[in-house]
Structure 1
């Protein structure tokens, strides 16, 4: 099978390209560095030529009110190019609970991306993942001042990117779902608890304080970022990942 990975040189994309090639598939890694610009459409037809499936793991450069325009433009170009070149399956990576957090600009933008895909001309699959283990440092940095990290007690069910990649590879090489697969890690934490686990494992000189108004995830109500009973539950536990990633 020939598969084009849009964003194929990034955190998720590079792992996905390696996994798919290792399974014997012909894979094109498409990104700005390879001459493919989703915002202008430049290079898309060449990158998609002959592809059975396209997996889009690109991300908006900002999480603010500019992000809907990014996804509107890039999905428009990708869907049009896919139709021109005969792509039979379009896959995107999204977020568990994305349509239940309308107060966040970025989540509204990702919801728009999903809707554009559903309305597009091609069969599709959506893989929604929970928050990545690898993003915990960034989440903590948003609300760190001096030696204090402020985090809300928002429930999360984080997942290793390697497990997200495994799910994406399975979906990309299977018939289109014309629906959603949720994937999540095996354990649910409150975000402040996750911060304390991280600080302890890395022996950082930081103190995590529970603050329900701190950071982006303070806007999230309830357990909407926790996967439902039909989700694919990944095997990697956060504590084990921490011990091997130090």
Structure 2
């Protein structure tokens, strides 16, 4: 594609912040980052920032036209399937070029004991056979999938307070990464955790818990990513996204 003048970044991730900073530093390029507004105090973003939803694919398409957007980069969380689907539909409806930026998922290595699940509900179904003290790191949304489990103890970590309903025996830990492997191992030992549950978010900021689980020989329930919309492919990093935008090396 030809180099854009106005880029909309659908953000909320480390990659989105890095991309916005790279775009804002390029002469003649205007960047607007859209945040869903689920975090009360988001980290600073380069360029312009808007907060809140668009009103589905149609609302996003209207926004692209109204604000003369030349390209869209969907750099949302790998599990933000709704906005990814809306972005694909809005781009197709308007003819605005779209790029999906997704960090690669995690891969198990020697010594890992990973148990894949297709959903949070599937992850909950695996837990009774795996352990009674659970470190739950799937974010603050969707915890209702575990609320029916009365026996296990859950240590729930998230950036913002989680939304109810929650399991009966829940302790909440509010924290934001990056974390260290030694710190994660100490946390698992302190709370006597015997099983970890995580989404396959990828990236380095929260990968240390996987190292800690490997060290301690703990099983890890890994929720698989939702598939991308049909016909949509992703680039793995900011450099590749800039290349797709025709801005690499500028």
Bigger fraction of residues in helix: 1
Which structure would you say has the larger Rg?
Answer: 2
TM > 0.5 fold call: no
TM interval, shorter chain, is 0.3 to 0.5
The two structures have a TM-score, normalised by structure 2, of: 0.39
Calculate the TM-score normalised by the size of structure 1: 0.40
